[in-house]
Amino acid sequence: MDLVTVWFVLVAVLWTGYFVLEGFDFGVGALLPLLARDEAERRQVLATIGPVWDGNEVWLITAVGAMFAAFPGWYSGLLSAWYLPLLGILAALIVRGVGLEWRGKVGSARERALCDAGIVAGSVLPAFLWGAVFGGMLGGTALAAAVGGAFSLTLAALHGAAFVALKTAGPVRLRARRLALRAAAAAVPAALAALPAIPAAREARPLPWVAAGAATAALAAGVVLAWRRREGAAFTATAAAIACTTAALFGVLWHSPLPGLTVAEAASGPYTLTVMTWIAAVALPFVLAYQGWTYWVFRKRLTRAAVSPSPPGKRPATPRRVAGGTR
């Protein structure tokens, strides 16, 4: 396997990690008004992604940086063709980050409501636009972009609802279970429209068809597992659906990531790819180890009491494992 192939696979892996991890972030933010009924529940919902959302965005930064260095022709062509949606994604991510960071620092209900609006808008918009960009890149039409955006948004909502059901206890957990099934009712038709269109968009090869079929099976398994209240397994299945969808996308983009441009033409020279390979071999294990440690430390379920402010004179509540534990 030559270095061009290695880096194409690595870029695909980085985008897969981003869509899987940031996917539930987007779903949690988009469903916030439906998951929480009061301030304590909103804190409980947002606490599920509070320790990890900014770490998840590192995957986006790394994926874009790897594309810029390894495939400058692909990077520049993508930005030129889709600069308005990508600008919208960037603006939405900034608004969302400001909302998440400032919500705990403001005092009035009006200011917290503004932060919540920023979190919802900053979650819905990127979840839709990423699907629209990749759908339009493959299909080349506004309809393909709309179908791709609808699929990515509904799949993120299902993924996020499954994550909240896995990470919380009490009424929020029950509400997340119901929302997961409602999100599935929208995600399944969108998947049936979008997934077969991915391998059919370019010259048919086995890998994209297999990956698209695996994504369909994983999504169906996620819906069944959510209905049976197997929260950990349902979240794993929705993560697998996103991973297989991304594999189908990059399987189609292999050889020709943009019309008239091959992967070999878009790639950097051998010296640049060699230096990047050594840097990745040294740095990537530390990044993966740190993120794995973060998820392990914050693996417990969150209760309403654990995130509620303590009355004056009392010690602050601390997160604790509740009956049933994280599965």
Query: Could you tell me if residue 249 is inside a domain?
Result: no
Output the furthest CA–CA distance in the chain (Å, rounded).
Answer: 68
Q: Which domain holds residue 71?
A: 3-202+254-306
Q: Which has more pLDDT, 245 or 286? A: 245
Q: Of 84-88, 193-197, 202-206, 210-214, which range is least confident?
A: 202-206
Looking at per-residue pLDDT, the higher value among 79 and 121 belongs to 121
pLDDT given for residue 310 in this prediction? 52
Nearest to 8 by CA among 291, 298, 276: 276
Contact of 164 with 199, CB cutoff 8 Å: no
Q: Does 48 fall in a domain? A: yes
In a domain, 169, yes or no: yes
d(CA 152, CA 299): 26
pLDDT in the model for residue 284: 85
Looking up tokens 């009424």, which residue turns up? 171
Question: Does residue 210 fall inside a structural domain?
Answer: no
Query: Does 25 reside within a domain?
Result: yes
Determine the angle formed by the axes of helices 231-253 and 171-194, rounding to 10 degrees.
30
Q: What is the mean pLDDT of residues 89-118?
A: 91
Q: What is the mean pLDDT of the chain?
A: 87
139 in a domain, yes or no? yes
For range 185-214, the mean pLDDT = 86
pLDDT of residue 326 exceeding 70 = no
For residues 124-135, average pLDDT: 93
- pLDDT tier, 280 (very low <50, low <70, confident <90, very high otherwise): confident
pLDDT category of residue 204 using cuts at 50, 70 and 90: low
What is the pLDDT at residue 140? 77
pLDDT band at 151 (very low <50, low <70, confident <90, very high): very high
* pLDDT tens, position by position, 169-181: 889 999 999 999 9
- Residue 44 belongs to a domain: yes
Count of domains forming the chain? 1
Measured distance CA(239)–CA(16) in Å, rounded: 10
Task: State which amino acid sits at residue 229.
Answer: R
pLDDT at 203: 67
Decide if pLDDT at 156 tops 70.
Answer: yes
Q: Is the model's pLDDT at 209 over the cut of 80?
A: yes
Least confident of 118-127, 198-207, 272-281: 198-207
In a domain, 179, yes or no: yes
